[in-house]
Structure 1
Amino acid sequence: MDFFKAQFTKIPLIKPVNLSDCTVLITGANAGLGYEAAKEILASKPARLILAVRSLERGNTAVTELAKLKAASTEIDVRQLDQASFASIKAFADGLDGQKVDIAILNAGTWSFKWGQTADGYESDLHVNVLGPALLSLLLLPNLRLAASSRAAGSDAPKPHLSFVSSGLHAMAKFPERKLPAGEALAALNEKSKYDGADRYSTTKLISLLWAKELARRTAGDGIVVNAPNPGFCKTTLMKDSAGAMKYVIKASGILLGRSAADGGKCIVDGAIVKGEESHGRYLSEMAIKDEVEFARGEQGTELQKRMWNEIVGVFKTKGVFPNSAETL
């Protein structure tokens, strides 16, 4: 019942805020929710908007359309980023070295419905939805901290934000791997024999939310707001790879219940530039702070997020990509 109520909640317009001296970064910004979020951000006239995209060709096409909406003072920059590659993520972050990033919206995601592995050796959805954004968030911390330290006293611009685009489906995740001994959950999720294509997206969104909450806990006092806005079930191409009966169920559900991508984009941007310190470490839905699934709350939630943090950091250290700047977290 809560899902249906949420889907039919009217999403209000966002009042523009002062982004005149701000750099905004959005991943997966050439289409769908990321593109709609970019359109919404442009209404606040940022100094710079960085579109992080896997395909530069599609990214440049998006820039052509977005340029029709931007203020003359706004620079739009498109850069390549493949969240299925640790090397690509690191190269992207290296290209921003020494530059402040005021708002980072980590939106790019996938739902494959079938088993596949990246060149780095991880199940595709696990890599793109969890490991990729987690690594990027660590690599962007120096840029966000630079924005926080250079923010003028009394500025009416929002504090630096790091927003992980979440999903209400996190609450439907089975995630039995959480009951395994510490250090074994990710390895189990990376086994083909245990892959559940229908559940994988929900599980990856839950783990990403746990990462966001733990990162928020570890960066408290840094002057950065870390949160996880949920855009809701939207009419996008996220589930294009579904098959069989599920494909028709999803199509019908989208027609009957799907929120527009534009409204989903508003929900994301609300978390990234409107919500303030009260949203630090919180899950947001329908532009309001909400509780995440029960076992991710309280002491058991904190313990679980710490466990997943340690496992994810362990992957980065094994692969030699854990940034020195994050050693003190």
Structure 2
Amino acid sequence: MVNFILPKISPIPKDTEFTGKYAVITGASSGLGLEVTRQLLRMHASSVILAVRNVAKGEACAETLRQECDTQNQSPKSIIKVMELDMDRYDSVQRFAKQLREEIPVVDLLILNAGIGLWNLERSSTGHERTIQVNYYSNVLLIAELLPYLEAGAETTGSPARISWVGSRAHEMSSLDKVPIEAGGEILENMDKDEAFTSFQRYGDSKLLCALFMYSLAPRLDPKKVIINMVCPGMVNTSMSDVLPIHLRLIMIAVKAMRARSVEVGGWIILNGALVAGPESHGKFLKDKAIADKSRYISSPAGQEAQKKLWGETIAEMSKLTSLPVEFQ
């Protein structure tokens, strides 16, 4: 039984620092991404890169953050840089990765926060259903493009790079559990079918794909070079529910008023997974601050088969776009 009231969360330990280090936060112009950036600056980050779709909005956020740092005398020397990253488009992901590799010598932390939830079926320019494109495909491509760069940086610094992917408990309620893919069918192809789209289900579907991919990738990585985990901060009071029809939005506003965490608390949870949790969190899903067991579906024979199938299908898609690192082959 799920508790309606979420447990209280303690702040990040005061001695947690990010002095002299570099972080990239996707979806950093609002909500959790912006708050995580703010908290990293308070930890004396050397540089934070706001990876955003809307550069003008990102620059406005960056200026606000600079003013906050000056006013509060926190990290006044931190570099705040805005870079374009549109997760709707493969070419934008690849341009961003190329620019990052060329302009930033080392990235210590990559927060994969950008994500969407849609009420109606939409398609990206790639032809894929848009929720799956933004939440899954583009994140996988970004990891593939940056993995050798992150590993090289770890060799330079002597510490593993960290990837913390913002996930969701919603992956435990995926349509794959309720309506398994037919024998011989493909998971990603099915996700693109109009008839497979369900408003309430698609966000959870996308987050299941992310979790399955992480569980496949992590054993292929050397945690002395790259530690990857996935973190669910629970319900947080952000604008994601604004896509809902007005009658459902009003209900969600009431629910969030009683149950949702603030973005500050959500930021604590994400940065716990990114900075406080140790190597034991590699390849794990964290609910709040605790490492969680794999979901019932993922642990089942059907889920394990889906994980293998998804890996193969994803590698086939990524191979069309870029030269894959050895961990993907």
Assess same fold via TM > 0.5: yes
Identity, % of aligned pairs?
28
- 1:255 deviation in Å? 1.1
- 1:25 deviation in Å? 0.5
Contact residue 160 and residue 224 of structure 2 kept, 8 A: no
- 1:297 deviation in Å? 2.7
Letter in 2 for 1:32: G
Q: 1:257 aligns with which of 259, 271, 290?
A: 259
Letter in 2 for 1:167: S
- 1:229 deviation in Å? 0.7
Contact residue 231 and residue 270 of structure 2 kept, 8 A: yes
Aligned match of 1:94: 98
Contact residue 104 and residue 163 of structure 1 kept, 8 A: yes
Q: In the TM superposition, what whole-angstrom CA distance separates every residue of 1:17-45 from its partner, at most 9, and x where no partner exists? A: 34223210000001001011111111221
Deviates further, 288-297 or 188-197:
288-297
Alignment of 1:323 onto 2:327: no
**Structure 1, unpaired ranges of 5+:** 153-157
Say how many residue pairs are matched. Answer: 321
Q: In the TM superposition, what whole-angstrom CA distance separates every residue of 1:114-154 from its partner, at most 9, and x where no partner exists? A: 001011101010100111111111111022102211124xx
Aligned match of 1:85: 89
Q: In the TM superposition, what whole-angstrom CA distance separates every residue of 1:76-106 from its partner, at most 9, and x where no partner exists? A: 1110000010000000001022532110000
Q: Determine the C-alpha separation between the residues in 2 that align with 1:132 and 1:192.
A: 20
Q: Determine the C-alpha separation between the residues in 1 that align with 2:211 and 2:50.
A: 23
Aligned match of 1:145: 151
Q: In the TM superposition, what whole-angstrom CA distance separates every residue of 1:253-296 from its partner, at most 9, and x where no partner exists? A: 11111111111111111111111110000001121111232121
- 1:300 deviation in Å? 5.7
Q: Determine the C-alpha separation between the residues in 2 that align with 1:182 and 1:45.
A: 52
Letter in 2 for 1:82: D
SS at match of 2:101: coil
Contact residue 20 and residue 46 of structure 2 kept, 8 A: yes
Aligned match of 1:4: 4
Contact residue 223 and residue 282 of structure 2 kept, 8 A: no
Q: Determine the C-alpha separation between the residues in 2 that align with 1:203 and 1:61.
A: 33
Alignment of 1:159 onto 2:143: no
Contact residue 283 and residue 289 of structure 1 kept, 8 A: yes
Contact residue 25 and residue 113 of structure 2 kept, 8 A: yes
Q: Determine the C-alpha separation between the residues in 1 that align with 2:290 and 2:223.
A: 23
Aligned match of 1:238: 240
Contact residue 178 and residue 185 of structure 1 kept, 8 A: no
Contact residue 183 and residue 311 of structure 1 kept, 8 A: no
Q: Determine the C-alpha separation between the residues in 2 that align with 1:211 and 1:119.
A: 23
- 1:192 deviation in Å? 1.0
Aligned match of 1:174: 175
Letter in 1 for 2:75: A
**1:77-226 matches, cutoff 5 A:** 77-97=81-101, 99-152=105-158, 159-175=160-176, 176=178, 178-181=180-183, 184-221=186-223, 223-226=225-228
Q: Determine the C-alpha separation between the residues in 1 that align with 2:226 and 2:327.
A: 18
How does the TM-score come out when normalised to structure 2?
0.91
How does the TM-score come out when normalised to structure 1?
0.91
Letter in 1 for 2:117: W
Q: Determine the C-alpha separation between the residues in 2 that align with 1:214 and 1:326.
A: 14
Aligned-pair RMSD on alpha carbons? 2.0
